[in-house]
Amino acid sequence: MGSDWIHQSSPSLDLGVGPRRSPDQAPVGVLEAMLNQISEENRRLTEMVSDMYTNHSALRRRLSYLASVSPCEKGSASPKRKRVDCEKHAASDGEHACKRSREDAMTKASKVYVRTDPSDPSLVVTDGYQWRKYGQKVTRRNPSPRAYFRCSFAPSCPVKKKVQRSAEDKSLLVATYEGVHNHKHPSPDEVYTVKCPSHINSSAPSIDPVVTRQPDVDRGLGEIESPKFDRALVEQMVATLTKDPNFTAAVAAAISERILRDPPA
DNA sequence: CGAATTTGACCGGCGC
DNA sequence: GCGCCGGTCAAATTCG
């Protein structure tokens, strides 16, 4: 996994404002102090980003491991049926083909958890695929409605998705995927982007990408390791930084200082 | 006007 | 056999 981008594209505020010429400019010491302060802040931000990236990578590795050691923990939200499915699957003799294919789909299900604004009633989990909603139901175990989606990118694609707000954590959307896409990922750039409610923009960024994921039913989502995911991360960080008034003030100060020092011809 | 979404009806599996 | 429950269908409605 490459963390090069952190170093290559480090958000350095060094805009060429180094200590140079202009002996007549009085507060050189003050400017240098400011520059040092900004550089220090810049270094801390870089470290924070680096730590975030490291933690994210470690978390993902751990989740992958957990997913791989609990193969029966997938699929249906109903533990009763899940157990029956597992047992049936073991004892099945292939008599009921259609039923078994359904069970296969159930056992191949994966879960994805997405953090969203709890006040947002929509059950939209954007994963780059194109989904068509075909039903919604309030289930017994969870007062929040469960939405049923089918992959509509390819007419023959068998993949289905159930999305329901977690009963324990209302800000958590649980998306359960069943089946395997029989087509390529339609828009790789959208991999791992998460719907951002419009009204959340002013508040602190609370959108986690995917918190956890079980086995790779969605081949397309495996692109998490690709540079495109880095790009998504970078975009997310840019969005976060631009919301930070201290950061924008520092950038504005640096730019104005530069303009005052080297006025355009 | 066609596509997407909503929502009540219906179906099948399961437990009692 | 009956009722409950999750999942799906399809007509009605909404949206672009």
Query: Each residue of A194-214: pLDDT tens digit?
Result: 333 333 333 333 334 444 444
**Looking at the predicted structure, is the pLDDT value of residue A53 above 90?**
no
Question: In the structure, what pLDDT confidence band is assigned to residue A71 with cuts at 50, 70 and 90?
Answer: very low
**Residue A211: per-residue pLDDT:** 43
Mean pLDDT of A25-32: 70
The β-bridge partners of A118 are: none
pLDDT tens digits, one per residue of A241-250: 655 555 656 6
d(CA A237, CA A250): 17
Answer whether any strand C atom is within 7 A of the Cβ of A65. Answer: no
End-to-end alpha-carbon separation of chain A, Å? 45
**Least confident window among A99-103, A177-181, A198-202:** A198-202
Task: Say which residues have a Cβ less than 8 Å from residue A109's Cβ, sequence separation at least 6.
Answer: A74, A75, A76, A176, A177, A178, A214, A217
**Residue A106: per-residue pLDDT:** 43
Q: Residues A212, A187, A122, A156: is their CA dihedral positive or negative?
A: negative
**Residue A171: per-residue pLDDT:** 79
Mean pLDDT of A14-23: 41
**Residue A140: per-residue pLDDT:** 82
**Looking at the predicted structure, is the pLDDT value of residue A34 above 70?**
yes
Nearest nt to the A178 alpha carbon by C1': C7
Give the pair of three-digit tokens for residue A201.
């923009």
d(CA A155, CA A127): 18
> Strand B contacts (CB < 7 A) among A residues 119-148?
131-137, 147
A113 or A9, greater pLDDT = A113
Answer whether any strand C atom is within 7 A of the Cβ of A160. Answer: yes
**Least confident window among A2-6, A38-42, A62-66:** A2-6
> Strand B contacts (CB < 7 A) among A residues 148-177?
152
CA separation, residue A157 to residues A17, A131, A151, A184, A214 (Å): 56, 11, 6, 11, 20
Give the pair of three-digit tokens for residue A164.
């329901």
Question: In the structure, what pLDDT confidence band is assigned to residue A168 with cuts at 50, 70 and 90?
Answer: confident
A167 or A159, greater pLDDT = A159
Calculate the angstrom distance between C1' of C10 and CA of A132. 15
**Residue A69: per-residue pLDDT:** 42
Nucleic acid strand B: bases within 7 A of protein CB: 4-9, 13-15
**Residue A149: per-residue pLDDT:** 92
Give the pair of three-digit tokens for residue A54.
């490291």
**Residue A248: per-residue pLDDT:** 59
Residue with tokens 């395997």: A180
Calculate the angstrom distance between C1' of B12 and CA of A224. 39
pLDDT tens digits, one per residue of A105-118: 444 577 888 877 76
Answer whether any strand C atom is within 7 A of the Cβ of A79. Answer: no
**Looking at the predicted structure, is the pLDDT value of residue A134 above 80?**
yes
Calculate the angstrom distance between C1' of B7 and CA of A133. 12
Among all protein residues, pick the one whose CA is nearest to the C1' atom of B15: A80
Among all protein residues, pick the one whose CA is nearest to the C1' atom of B4: A132
